[in-house]
Each structure stands twice: as structure tokens, then as C-alpha cells.
């Protein structure tokens, strides 16, 4: 609930900041990006935050239910919530060489995968969307928390799995084999960078607040780039099982110039992803604005 209280002092009216629910994941790229914003190290005039850290599929479902005012989501989900949310141009994960991987215990071609269970890290993740776009015939889909996918592949519970986040750096240690780099497939088939996750905010907040949020997020990313050591404790507090090297690799892979501002190239990539999802009948066709005008 947004709350704003005004108090009259003489001829001046002082208004307390509106308190916005803010969702993002505990992954190093998100805690790196949001550290300065949630710790008041960059200005966000008239706005305060109550943060909620959850895995991305939990955030997707919270936004689908309208339960968060500002949140990180998978770009797949964006196509389902545009009636109520706008996409902010800063704070997200979009790039090249950073897409989800389809892995298994042994080399398998697509024909041998058909009909066999494939684990995905949530129904509304971009990883799930990419696999469905890559090969719609792979339809025996099992949804698991992302951290349980590699163990399920390794013990044979599923034939293959689509992995995200830090799993890109650790799957070989479990003896798993990469079958398809879905990000590479996307880049080669479209020419665009891969949109993974973005930041949405409720349209009802209004243009002034939305533009404030967008600018503050961009400043938070710039602050993190300029002061990479300041966020270290916050990042490690939410990623205790990762080594510093894996945290750093995670941030380097998923945080880049597109995280400051999507720009024309990033915006085009998002639109193409939504268009392809709509053509495949996975989301409804997009109408109206995606961004703050």
C-alpha cells in the first residue's frame, strides 16, 4: 500500500515519501544493482522502499497477482502484465553471451529429448519461453526451483534441464553436458541481445514517480560500477554459498550498459521477444505502451 502523509508547517506543506514495495532477487547481479538505491546512496526524491528479496519465479507470480509496486521480473512475464505495469529502461539484465543453457547428463539430440521430462526454472521465466520458442515439440515440461534443476538432471529425475544464474559456471562440476545455449540460439536467429529480466512498476504510480524510479535505478547502477567494493557485504549476505569468484563472474555477465539504460538496441530486443512469444501463442499480442513516454 502506498502511503503519503502531508503536514502543514507554516505556509509550507511537507509530504512524507511514498513507500513502495520493491522486489528483486538475492542473486549477485540484483543486489549489486539495487544496493545503492535501497541504502539511500543515490537520490530518489519523494520515494522510499520496502524491499522484498525472492527468487525470480516468486517475483513473477507476485507481480502477476499485482502484489508488488516495483519489481524485477522475467521478460517472459512482461507480456502477461502490461495492462497494469510499465517497463523501466534501467536496472534489468539484457546482453550477449548470457542466456540460459539446456544441459543433460549425456549428449542428446532434439529427437531423443522429445517426450522426455525437461526441467525449467518456473513457468514465467524467460528460460521457459526460450525453450518453447526453440522447439515447441519439447512439451514434457517440469517446473522446479532453479537451484534444484542441476541435481535433478544429475540424478536422472529429468532428462535435461534449462539452467540460469550461477549454474552457468558450475554445471560441469556435476558432470553435466551443454546441449544448447539458448541465448546463443536467440542471438543468431534474431541478431538481438537476449532480454532476460527487467524492472516493472505499476502504471498507477503516475509519470512523475515512474520517471523518478527510472532515473534512480540508472544512478544506482552507475554508483555500483563506480564503487564496486561498497556492495560486497550486501551481495555476500544474500549469496553465502557462492565464492567471491562466482559472484564476480555473475555480476560481470549480467550487469552491463543495458542495465543503465536499454537504449534503442535493448528496447528493440524486448519488442522482438514479445512479438515472437505472441506469434507462438504464448502471450497475447502487445498493444499500447511498454515504457514511460
What are the catalytic residues?
165
From CA 164, how far away is CA 187, in angstroms rounded? Answer: 17
Annotated binding residues for substrate, written as ranges, equal: 72-74, 126-127
Secondary structure letter of residue 103 according to DSSP: E
Phi-psi region at 115: left, alpha or beta (left = phi > 0; alpha = psi -120 to 50): left
From CA 143, how far away is CA 146, in angstroms rounded? Answer: 9
From CA 224, how far away is CA 231, in angstroms rounded? Answer: 7
3-state secondary structure of 278: helix
CA-to-CA dists, residue 67 to 22, 51, 187, 200, angstroms: 10, 13, 33, 12
Dig out the grid coordinates for 81 from the structure.
Answer: 502484465
Max CA separation in the chain (angstroms): 76
From CA 19, how far away is CA 242, in angstroms rounded? Answer: 32
**How many helices, marked H, and strands, marked E, lie in the chain?**
13, 12
From CA 77, how far away is CA 60, in angstroms rounded? Answer: 6
CA-to-CA dists, residue 239 to 32, 124, 210, 292, angstroms: 11, 23, 30, 33
Q: The dihedral of CA 171, 175, 180, 181: what is its sign?
A: positive
Annotated binding residues, written as ranges, equal: 72-74, 126-127
Measure CA 133 to chain center. 18
Amino acid at each position: 500500500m502506498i502511503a503519503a502523509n502531508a503536514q502543514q508547517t507554516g505556509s509550507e506543506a511537507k509530504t512524507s515519501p511514498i513507500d513502495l514495495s520493491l522486489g528483486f532477487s538475492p542473486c549477485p547481479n540484483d543486489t549489486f544493482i539495487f544496493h545503492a538505491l535501497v541504502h539511500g546512496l543515490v537520490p530518489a526524491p519523494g520515494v522510499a522502499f520496502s524491499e522484498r528479496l525472492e527468487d525470480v519465479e516468486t517475483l513473477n507470480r507476485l507481480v502477476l497477482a499485482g502484489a508488488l509496486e516495483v519489481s524485477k521480473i522475467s521478460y517472459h512475464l512482461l507480456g502477461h502484465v502490461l495492462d497494469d505495469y510499465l517497463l523501466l529502461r534501467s536496472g534489468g539484465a539484457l546482453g550477449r553471451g548470457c542466456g540460459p543453457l539446456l544441459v543433460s547428463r549425456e549428449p542428446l539430440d532434439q529427437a531423443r529429448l522429445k517426450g522426455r521430462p525437461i526441467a525449467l526454472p518456473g513457468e514465467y521465466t524467460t528460460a521457459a519461453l526460450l525453450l518453447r520458442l526453440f522447439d515447441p515439440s519439447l512439451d514434457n515440461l517440469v517446473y522446479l526451483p532453479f537451484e534444484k534443476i542441476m541435481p535433478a538432471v544429475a540424478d536422472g529425475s529429468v532428462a535435461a534441464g534449462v539452467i540460469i544464474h550461477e549454474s552457468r559456471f558450475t554445471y560441469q562440476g556435476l558432470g553435466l553436458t551443454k546441449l544448447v545455449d539458448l541465448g546463443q540460439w536467440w542471438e543468431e536467429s534474431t541478431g538481438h541481445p537476449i532480454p532476460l529480466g527487467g524492472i516493472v512498476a505499476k502504471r498507477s504510480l503516475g509519470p512523475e514517480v515512474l520517471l523518478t524510479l527510472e532515473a534512480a535505478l540508472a544512478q544506482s547502477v552507475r554508483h555500483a560500477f563506480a564503487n564496486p567494493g561498497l556492495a560486497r557485504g550486501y551481495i555476500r549476505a544474500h549469496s553465502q554459498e557462492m565464492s567471491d569468484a562466482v559472484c564476480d563472474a555473475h555480476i560481470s555477465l549480467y550487469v552491463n550498459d543495458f542495465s543503465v539504460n536499454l537504449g534503442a538496441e535493448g528496447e528493440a530486443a524486448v519488442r522482438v521477444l514479445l512479438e515472437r512469444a505472441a506469434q507462438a501463442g504464448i502471450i497475447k499480442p502487445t498493444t499500447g505502451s511498454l515504457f514511460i513516454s
